[in-house]
Structure 1
């Protein structure tokens, strides 16, 4: 099987989980015997472009002529079975779908964000969830609020791109939704069920998990939508030391908030930006991983890393987080009592849950509210040891590279067969 993987890489100065996933997926496919033809561009190329090329940049999200020429030549020469598209902006443009179809090549796209509808791709603006552009032919609110790169002109260009390419997106042969929440987003956009499959990303197997550590780990980009402020608000509602340590790893605009919390309380530790050995050590030293996003986070890779390391997750009930921890089809109903701290014997994973706390296969989800999160923290600490084996099992069954790569190859085969 021969597959073209098309992706516009994000700038290296802005760490991107999407870049990492695409690189890993190419390696996993190649190891499985698939012939992969990477068709990659990088936003880091822009500063070195010639003046004529830079002059065409404003229209490249709508139509990138050089990319279409190069792709057409690649398709003609190698006659691949499928083109697999990830991010098309700004140097590829959605027009690659039309170029592939012109050559009779079916297209699969992995949906990493909400940019079929939302110019920023996040459904998040000014610190809160925003879906003002849903159902609109043209995303005027995105232009008014400068949602794309803080620029009204660039927001107008992106909103126009989304409007122009609505028929393009409707022509994609198969969409890969990373979670059930993304599948719902695509249905809302008008994509029929038969063209949507749910297939998450994978992370490499770190091996047999270490015994559970103590306390909690928050790891990720320190930006408002990741919910660090929400977490610290909830954490401060408990006496110092009562929950064990809270470790915060990562960097970003909210770094001063993490540093101030660590200076204020001895049970908060700021680890900074970690390399891979540092990530493994932080996971090994903790009992529960936190994913307290305040936006509809599509697929936080940190959760899959936690499950691979046998660490259950406490997250907000937004985006793909319930799916990842197995709480979109919960094993236990949400608590019905008052939002107060539950008591439990150590290691008891079946405690009486506070209102709004929902237990899934490999963790818990809760409303993005400080009081609800504060009530869930001791529940997660008490149940961490019980859910640790289930966390690893969920990884092996759903997110292991062997499982995910086989699923992806099956999708390619089905799409290629249907197209023929």
Structure 2
């Protein structure tokens, strides 16, 4: 099988879980014997572009001519079975879907965010969930509120891009929804049920879990939508030291909030940004991992890392978090609560008391749902079915 993986990498200065997942998926597919043809661009290329190329950047989300020419040559030369698209912005453009179809190549897209509808991709604005652009032909609220990169002009361009490519997205042969929540988003957007499959991401198996450590770990971007302020407000409702340690790892605009909490309480430790070894050590030291997002977080990789390490997760009942934790299964790998301080504060002592009894369920959920062997087999089945369906449709049209 021959697959083109198309992805516009996010800037390295802003670490992206999506970049990491795409790299891991390419490695997993290659290990499974798939011939992967990467068609990758990076936003880090933009500063070094010639002036003529930079002049075209404002229209590239709608139509990126250079990317279409280069993709056309790749498709013509290699004749792949499927093109697998991840992020198209800004250097690829959703037009790659049309280019692939022009060469008779079906398209699978993994949906990592809500950008079919929302200019920021988050359904989150001014510290709260926002879905003002749902159902609109043009996302005027995104323009008014400068939702894309804090710029009214760039927000207008992105809103126009989303409107212009509504038909493009609806022509995608198969959508990979990372969770049931994303599947619901796609149905709401008008994608037929038969073109949506749920397949989460995978992370490498870290091996047999070691016994639980103590306390809680928050690992992620220190930004408002990740719910750090919610967590700290809930934490302050308990006496210092009564829940064990709270370790916070990461970086971002809310870093001063964590540093202040660590200065005020002996049971709060700020670990700062961590490398892979540091993340592993922090997981090993902890008993429960926290995922306290206040937006519809699509698929926080930290939850899969926690499950792989046999650490149960306490999260908010938003986005993909309930799916990841298996909240509706017979043996959930943690707990989900409403995104408010009182509910989270009530859940913290229960998580301490029940962590050991949920550890085995956490590891089992990883092995059955998020292990690379399981996920890669699922992805190969999706490619094969998409290619078969596209070929059958072509024959029917002749």
Structure 1 portions without partners, runs of 5+: 332-359
Within 5 Å, give how 1:18-417 maps onto structure 2. 18-327=18-327, 329-331=328-330, 361-417=332-388
SS in 2 for 1:135: coil
Spell out, residue by residue over 1:338-371, the C-alpha distance to the aligned partner (whole angstroms, 9 max, x if none): xxxxxxxxxxxxxxxxxxxxxx610000000000
Deviations 1:118-165 (A, max 9, x none): 000000000000000000000000000000000000000000000000
The runs of 5 or more residues in structure 2 that have no matched partner are: 392-398
CA distance in 1, matches of 2:238, 2:329: 27
TM-score scaled by length of structure 1: 0.93
The CA deviation string for residues 250-281 of structure 1, in whole angstroms up to 9 with x for no partner, is: 00111111111000000001011111111111
Post-superposition offset of 1:330:
4.5
Distance 1:364 1:264 in 2: 28
2:282 aligned counterpart, secondary structure: helix
d(CA) in 2 for partners of 1:276, 1:98: 38
Aligned pair count reads 391
> Stretches of 4+ moved more than 2 A in 1?
none
Equivalent residue number for residue 353 of structure 1: none
> Which secondary structure does the structure 1 equivalent of 2:247 belong to?
strand
Could you tell me how far apart the structure 2 residues matched to 1:94 and 1:265 are?
A: 49
Partners of 2:261 and 2:35 in 1: CA distance:
49
Secondary structure class of the residue paired with 2:116:
coil
SS in 2 for 1:233: helix
Matches of 2:294 and 2:58 in 1, distance apart? 32
Backbone CA RMSD of aligned residues: 0.6
Find the counterpart in structure 2 of residue 8 from structure 1.
8
In 2, the alpha carbon distance for the partners of 1:105 and 1:251 equals 41
Q: Secondary structure at the match of 1:147?
A: coil
CA distance in 2, matches of 1:128, 1:361: 28
For 1:338, the equivalent position in structure 2 comes to none
List per-residue Cα deviations over 1:24-74 (Å, max 9, x = no partner): 000000000000000000000000011110000000000000000000000
For 2:396, the equivalent position in structure 1 comes to none
Structure whose residues are more often helix by fraction: 2
